[in-house]
């Protein structure tokens, strides 16, 4: 489970950011997790409360938004949701595709005071 390492890394980035900008509190942290990113939102949510204990983010609410995994069919160029269609083009049934989006894992926004 690599989610704990990811969360610790994010907390460190946020603490540095807060110090640089003289922020005392971040109300809400929004992460965007691509469906193809191999990061599981549920695990992030599970480890987050423990990871933020005794950090500047102890009172920060974590919100996770999922970005869909989108691909383009290499046979017919149709663009479709890879996860919902089980990596198979719904138009021509080809399984060859190139990923357009959904691999990213990023800090989307934060609400600071």
C-beta of 94: minimal distance to Zn ion in Å?
5
Based on the shown chain and the rule CB under 5 A, indicate whether residue 79 belongs to the binding site for Zn ion: no
The CA distance from 36 to 99, in Å, is: 9
* Gyration radius (Cα) of the chain, Å: 18
Based on the shown chain and the rule CB under 5 A, indicate whether residue 94 belongs to the binding site for Zn ion: yes
Q: Which is nearer to Zn ion, 92 or 106 (CB)?
A: 92
Letters for 37-76 (x = contact with Zn ion by CB under 5 A, - = none) are ------------------------------------x-xx
Q: Which is nearer to Zn ion, 91 or 99 (CB)?
A: 91
C-alpha to C-alpha distances, 29 to 6, 46, 86, 106, nearest whole angstrom: 14, 15, 31, 11
C-alpha to C-alpha distances, 17 to 27, 28, 68, nearest whole angstrom: 14, 14, 28
Q: Which is nearer to Zn ion, 14 or 89 (CB)?
A: 89
């Amino acid at each position: 489970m690599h989610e704990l390492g990811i969360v610790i890394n994010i907390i460190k980035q946020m603490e540095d950011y807060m110090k640089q900008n003289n922020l005392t509190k971040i109300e809400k942290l929004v992460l965007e997790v691509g469906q193809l990113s191999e990061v599981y939102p549920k695990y992030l949510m599970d480890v987050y409360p423990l990871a933020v204990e005794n950090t500047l983010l102890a009172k920060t609410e974590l919100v996770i938004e999922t970005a869909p995994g989108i691909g383009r069919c290499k046979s017919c160029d149709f663009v479709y949701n890879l996860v919902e269609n089980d990596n198979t083009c719904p138009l021509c049934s080809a399984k060859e595709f190139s990923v357009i989006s959904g691999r990213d894992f990023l800090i989307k926004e934060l609400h600071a005071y």
